[in-house]
Each structure stands twice: as structure tokens, then as C-alpha cells.
Structure 1
């Protein structure tokens, strides 16, 4: 069957399908594991498998079908048979950001406030974050080029890398060495395939081999199966709109303000990242229109939120790789069918029972490594210091989260031993834990601004750098950066805290002091390249 003279499914689509479907399956496994884990969100099976996963399926179908048709139309218009559809799926970085930076804090805050159903509050916070991200992506489709021009690539990629390094790579590295037989064996396969640039005989995708070997080893050493076999899990689970819960999240006092510092930057990242992936496709020979491509990407995230999923979608990196593999338009449709069957039939319960997260964690670790490496590889060499500075806030935020997890494990963070100011004095002085708690709040803004300022200083655009620091002072003065308050078991963003606690204006004043230095720099300094080298 032809579409305007173009074959919609070719042999290469089989290979492309295995790669993309496995990638999406890993995301679904992560969603299921993190959402249901009693140590993370503790959502019920009904909420995860009856609402969140069907909502995710709808969002993936929207994009996969659009990008497949888009590829067929481009092939027909240009008379080519080598056009590859844009790869699309759940955004890995947003997945972790929404779980650990939005839903988990919302759950903890609700528990501390004595809310009857903290899991529902956490889920509604995730819906709000997903909806906000989608709206930003949709609106960003029309201004994406301007956004990219005012923010250096080093700032965008390093901020992303900080999240990847802390919240993705390090956590899964710990898990790798906690279960080394499975973790290290699958890591070897992933590194061999993706960094060694080899392929397995017979055309088996490296990711498939890693998961298959990891699953076999997990069963052999007793990591799998995970508990008793599911009962009564298979059956049709149709997606249902959850507009009431979305409005409940929007109307909940303080919820939007509490997670504004996560929603806005993550939405911007998705816009710019997707734009870069469209450019990558163009470099590979497939020129897609920017506005509709980005708009549908945003629409997918909005649909996800309206149907119960907390996880935005995105145009994936790697179009040239899928194209080189021989994939065209059919692999995208096949992926949509696969995800729909898995999510709506309840069979993911059996997959998660039989295939532990450990079997696929090397792939996720690889994703974190690639994102971090890209921050250095895709930016000018002279901007490397800016990349390092942009990495630090994300790693620091992860460290602060780990410190608080350790305190809760030690029996603190409950009504009998709540978190409070005395906690700071309990830490050794040289840990400066109060600085870590402050840096954790709005760290995405902090990373972007510090990396941008560093790039501008490297390029000797001192006045423009000063203006960015004035913007940082404004954010700090409103509490969107660094302002935090104590809850029973956490430290959370406290908007407008500096106006209630004038001593917390120190961060804003610090940024203004930095700005003053840079505004004065053109008159009190002169170039000194000879002293510092290239």
C-alpha cells in the first residue's frame, strides 16, 4: 500500500520500532515503578494503571500519528522515499523532574498538613506541571527561535545535564552497584552498543539485548519476579478525562506558585530541546516546519494532563540514528499501536512483574550520560567553564534531597522530630547545609542564570551579564529562587519569603553586588589575554 506513491512501512521500520518502542517501554516501566513505589509516591494501582498510563497512551498516539503523517507528506511533496518521521515519546528528564521536584514535595507537604489523601494532591500537582509544560511548549512554538537566541546553548544544556547527572545518573549508578550482577552486565552491553559503535549479529537492537540479558540475570539471582504474579490486571482500561482534577489543582492555594520555578524552565527546555531535534533532522536531510512540529508536541502534553498523565511528551533526540537504521514513517505508527496495547490492556502489570527496572536501568543511566556529555560536546570549547557552573546547582539540589532523605531514614521529619532551624546546627559546620537548602529552591533558574552569565563574561559582554544578574536578584527577591521554609519533613519553596523575612534578601543583594561588579568592569578593567592564555 502506498501513500501518495510512498510506502508507509519498510523493513527499516522494524528496527526503528524496536528501538523507539523499547525506549517508551522503559519510560512506562519507570512511571509505574516510581509512582507505585511506597518509597517515592505510593500511588494506588488503580490510579497508575487505570488513569495515568491510559492518559500517557493517548498523548503518545496523538504525536506518533501526526509525525508519521508529516513524514509521509514530506516524502510525497519532495518525491523521496528516505524521509524519517521525528521520533517522539515521554520526556525522560521531565519524568524525573515532575516526580522528584513536583509530586514528591507536594505529597510530603500534604502529609505534613494532615491532608486525608496526599497521593491525590501529589497527582494533581503533577497534572498541573504537565499542563503548564504543554502550554509553554504550545506557545513556544511561535517564539522558539527568539528563546534560543537570548539564552546560550551552554546554559540550556548544562542545566539539563545537572538534572541528568544528579537525578538520573547518580541514582541509577547507586542501584547498579547495589545489584552489580544485573547492573554491570547490562551496563557493559549498553556501553558496547552505543559508545563502542557496534551492533549485534542478526540485527538485534542493543537496548533489547540489554533488557533481555538483564531480565534473565534478574530471574537467575532472584531479583525477579517482583512479588506475586498479577491477578485480574488484564482488561480494557479506557482513558477518561480528569478535567475536574486539573481545575482542582489550579484552584488549590499556592500550588502553582510552589512549582512555578520547575514548570517554567522545564517547559522552556522542552521547547528548545525539541527545536534542536528538528534542526538535527534538517541536517540529516528532512526539513520539517517548526511551528506545527512544536505545536503538536505541546498539544500531546496538554492531552496527557487532561486525561490523567503527569508526564509531558517530547520530540526525541536521535533522528539521524533512526534514519540511518532505515526507519521511515511506519515505525512511529507501530510505536503508537504498541504503547496503546500495553497501557490500555493492563499488560504492563505483567511486564513490570517479569521485567524489573534493574534490567533497563543501564539504558536510563546511558541517557543521563549522553545528556551530560552533550552539554560539553555541543557547546564551544571555550564555554566549558560555563557548562560546569551550570551543572553544579542540579547536583547540589540532588545532594540536598539525599541529605533530607537520610534524616528521615534516621527518624526525623515527623511530628515528634520535625525539621526546623535547629537542624542546621546539627550538621557539621563545613557542610553549609543551609546554603544547600537555599540552592535547592529554584535551582533550574539558578543554573541557567549562572551559566549564561559565565558565557557572557567569557565573551566580555559584561553589561548584558549584569542585566541577567539583575533578573536573578528579582527572582531571589520574590522567593522563586533560594527562598525556603520548613515543613515537618522537608524544605520547600516559599514565595515572597524575603518580604516576610528581610534577612533573606541577602541572596537578592548578592546578585545585585555581582551585577555592580560587571557594570563597572568595562571602566575598571582591560583585556589581559596574555596573562591567562587561550
Structure 2
């Protein structure tokens, strides 16, 4: 083993050339999310710029700094322990699904009820406060769940997220502005998949962003206006310059408890969602060769989110999907910490507004599409071929949840909703809204249950399949999956169906003759001794 592999110090340990690619890729990913949530705060929730740029973004920046530096440290420890130089830090940042949930499900209703953006902000802080403790408590049971759950179920549910909530929106926006989006996407694919090297090995992500920015500003010269940029918006952005340090917001956190009824409806189930998603992402990293302690990861998410909310940030921290992508790109330890420093500078100095006025978002989105492609494919590449049907089934609840989100958004834009239009009318046009709502409820957890049952059936381990079906029945009965709200008896027929499946599979395991499983290899269809997971 080489010296650079075993040494506890050395430049390679902290930064390698591939970290530049991962830094520009992951850094722009984080930047996109910061720009989006800034827009939500300013234009949806109508929060004053003094609150957004003076309190929320500085607190958010500190949270992201603590998160990225902590996961860089975990990667450094793993590299020291194993003597490897290819360890890649877990990516982390603001939870994107929850960014929209806390905005539209928690803060916006409070704003409409009170006409006070400060009270809406306080409700968001309390929501994160509750979720933080759910994550910290769940960190101690997640390793057990990860140990007994098949990898195909975990990665399959994750693949569903990668196709829908990670890839679809960037893909649609790329094709809405193809002159920028498709060119940037091709630059990224040629570099990260095709091995094309650009001038002086400049990272492909940076080349793509630069090209997209040049096209956007160049189009303005001809009056085309691609990318939505203008000189006026750049001038306005300079007014937000200035140093802002996060200050405690404990009083605001506890003021939000007067809305605890609205908050608990989503905080607990989405806290469990975070728990499962983080567990999925740790499993994804393990499949790529980097095994991190699940309990430490989950409790860190909870503690860091708690610090952020106590300083005024109403968005929760999460381990991101995408570790294999950043690792394949060459990222190791340094890219994570460098991203934390970058976001700290951007948020504390008020530079976010300027960046958003200079760079077209569509130039950044192809990077997210690339990550979605990589994670979706990992589910099939890192599991036995025979488990492919289970992966497909694990993906379907996420597709249902995404479809329901699209329908709700379209009807909301028209000033109505599914109940007002009528479920029968929607059904007559092929839109099975109730089915989407039921199948997509608690989609991440539902996908894991369905995927696990299918894997164990494929492996002829019917008793284990029965136990997962029983778990599905219990989770459904309490509204954690296949339901839109937490509560007792939310989807009783679905819960009863899972229970019936559990009984049937248990009886098959005990009394039926079951032929042995035909175990396939990962290769070209040959047979091998591939153990069941």
C-alpha cells in the first residue's frame, strides 16, 4: 500500500483535483437551492428583505457550513481508519422537498390567516424545532432498519425520488430554455460521462455555467432575453451588500408553538421521511464504497437543524442524495468543506442577490439532472439483477406522489382543487386522483415496504416478506404511508389488505411447498452464489 494511502496527513487527504469538479457541481447545487428558497421567502411569503437577508440567510449559511464541514470531518475519519484516499464526503444541505412543504403547507397558511410574515416565519421555526428532535431520536433505530431492509428496497425508493423530484423539474426547465439548457447539459455529459477534458482541465460544471451565462447575456444584446437576466436586476442586487451575522431567535421559535396543531400534522411524518431518506442516502454511499455510521449521520442532521432554527432558519438540514455522483466526479473530502465556506461567504455578505441576478438558473439545472440520472441507475447497478422488479415497484409511490403534486399545482393555479372538480369527473378523464393520493402517501417509506416485500418473495424468504407486509399494515393504519394525514385508521382498507398479505405469506412460508430461488449474478446472465440481502 502506498504512502499516500496510509498517511494520516498529506494534501491528497484534504483536496484532490477531482474536488474541483465536485465543488463546482455540488456548490452550484447548493447555490440553486439557496436561490430558490430566497425567492420563496421574498415573493411567496412576502417577507421583508431585512428579515430574509439580515436574519434567515445568515442562519441558513451557518447551518450549511456546520453540516458540510461535519461531513467532511466524518469522511476524513473514515479515510484515516481505512487508509484509503478515495473516500468521498456525504453531500448535505437544505432538504429540498421540505423547503416547499414548510413554505406552502406551514408558513403560507399562517401568513394568509394572520397577514403577518413574522408569525409565518415563527411557525416555520417551530416546525424545524419539532423535526429536529424526531431526527435525533430516530438516529438510534435507523441502523437496525437499514440492517434488515434489502438494498434494492432502499435504493429503489431513492431512484423514484431521483426520477421525479430531482430530475423532472430540471429536465422540463432545460427543454423550456433549450438554447442554454441543452448546451450546458451536453457540456456536462461530455466531461463527466464522455471523458472530454476542457482547457487546462477546467471543471465541466464551471464551463457549463460560464457558457450558459454568456448565452443568456449575449441573447440580451439581440433582444431575445434568454435566461431572464437584466442590467436593472444587477443594480438592485448591490443594495443587499453588507455583513450580517446570525443572532438567536429562541423567542421566535417558542412563539410559533401557538400554531402547534398545524405544525404537528406535517412535522412528525416528514421527520420520519427525513429519517428514512437519510438512511437511504447512507445506504447509497455504502453501495459506492463509503460506509458511514448511520446514527451519527442522523443525529447530526437533527442537531445542526436545531442550531439553525434557534438562530432563525426555517429550513431543515438533510444528507443529500448524490454521493455516488460526486464520488464518480472525483470528489473526496475537500469539496464538502469548500462548499460550506462558499455558502457562508455568500449569505453573510449579502452576495446571494447579486449571484441570482448574474447567472441564469437554467445553466445550473443540468447538474441536478445528471445527479438524478446517476442515482436512478445505481439502484440497478448495485443490486442483484433478479431484484430489478422490486426496484421498479419501489419507485412507483414516488411517481404517484409527483403526479398528484402536478395535478394539485395545476388545479390550484386555476383557483380550484380536486374535491371541487369532483373525483368522478377526474376519473372519467383518466386521472385517478384518489389512487395517486393513496399510493403516493408517505412515498419514500411506502416504496421501501413494497420493495422489501417483493425482494423477499423473489428470494423465497416468505416469512421475512410477511413481516414487512405486517409493518406496512401498521404504518398504513397510523397514516404514515398511503395516507395524506397522520392519524388512526386513515386508510383502513389498505391496512387490512397489507395484513391479509402478511397472513397469506406467513402461511405459505410455513405450509406451502416453495421452489428454491434462481439466483442471478450482476454480470451477463450467468448463475452465481449471490447471497440474498
TM above 0.5, one fold?
yes
The equivalent position to 1:510 in structure 2, one of 497, 509, 519, is 497
The equivalent position to 2:405 in structure 1, one of 382, 401, 408, is 401
Match of residue 99 from structure 1: 99
Write the distance in 2 (CA, Å) between the matches of 1:155 and 1:356.
Answer: 37
CA displacement at 1:140 relative to structure 2: 5.5
Write the distance in 1 (CA, Å) between the matches of 2:81 and 2:478.
Answer: 51
Secondary structure of the structure 1 residue equivalent to 2:319: strand
CA displacement at 1:531 relative to structure 2: 11
The equivalent position to 1:392 in structure 2, one of 386, 390, 396, is 396
CA displacement at 1:350 relative to structure 2: 0.5
Write the distance in 1 (CA, Å) between the matches of 2:207 and 2:364.
Answer: 10
The equivalent position to 1:260 in structure 2, one of 268, 271, 278, is 268
CA displacement at 1:301 relative to structure 2: 3.1
Match of residue 316 from structure 2: 311
Match of residue 249 from structure 2: 242
* 2:29 pairs with 1:26: yes
Match of residue 178 from structure 1: 176
Secondary structure of the structure 2 residue equivalent to 1:90: strand
CA displacement at 1:157 relative to structure 2: 1.5
CA displacement at 1:409 relative to structure 2: 2.4
Match of residue 455 from structure 1: 455
Match of residue 163 from structure 1: 161
Which stretches in structure 2 are left out of the alignment for 5+ residues? 1-6, 220-224, 521-526, 528-533
Write the distance in 2 (CA, Å) between the matches of 1:11 and 1:158.
Answer: 32
CA displacement at 1:427 relative to structure 2: 1.0
* 2:382 pairs with 1:364: no
CA displacement at 1:136 relative to structure 2: 5.3
Match of residue 379 from structure 1: 383
The equivalent position to 1:341 in structure 2, one of 324, 335, 345, is 345
TM-score by length of 1: 0.81
CA displacement at 1:313 relative to structure 2: 4.0
Give yes or no for contact 1:98–1:126 (8 Å, CA) kept in 2. Answer: no
C-alpha spacing 1:23/1:508, structure 2 compared with 1 (3 Å): same
TM-score by length of 2: 0.81
C-alpha spacing 1:269/1:289, structure 2 compared with 1 (3 Å): closer
CA displacement at 1:463 relative to structure 2: 2.5
Match of residue 228 from structure 1: 233
Match of residue 148 from structure 2: 150
Secondary structure of the structure 2 residue equivalent to 1:218: helix
Give yes or no for contact 2:397–2:446 (8 Å, CA) kept in 1. Answer: yes
Match of residue 523 from structure 2: none
Give yes or no for contact 1:102–1:262 (8 Å, CA) kept in 2. Answer: no
C-alpha spacing 1:426/1:81, structure 2 compared with 1 (3 Å): closer
Secondary structure of the structure 2 residue equivalent to 1:518: helix
Give yes or no for contact 1:162–1:395 (8 Å, CA) kept in 2. Answer: yes
Write the distance in 1 (CA, Å) between the matches of 2:501 and 2:42.
Answer: 41
C-alpha spacing 1:220/1:497, structure 2 compared with 1 (3 Å): farther
C-alpha spacing 1:196/1:411, structure 2 compared with 1 (3 Å): same
Give yes or no for contact 2:476–2:494 (8 Å, CA) kept in 1. Answer: yes
Match of residue 3 from structure 2: none
CA displacement at 1:335 relative to structure 2: 3.5
Give yes or no for contact 1:389–1:451 (8 Å, CA) kept in 2. Answer: yes
C-alpha spacing 1:126/1:396, structure 2 compared with 1 (3 Å): farther
* 2:56 pairs with 1:52: yes
C-alpha spacing 1:50/1:376, structure 2 compared with 1 (3 Å): farther
* 2:281 pairs with 1:273: yes
Match of residue 305 from structure 2: 301
Q: Which moved more, 1:29-38 or 1:318-327?
A: 318-327
* 2:416 pairs with 1:412: yes
Match of residue 4 from structure 2: none
* 2:431 pairs with 1:435: no
Write the distance in 2 (CA, Å) between the matches of 1:344 and 1:39.
Answer: 17
Which stretches in structure 1 are left out of the alignment for 5+ residues? 414-418, 485-492, 499-503
Secondary structure of the structure 1 residue equivalent to 2:419: coil
Residues matched between the structures, number: 502
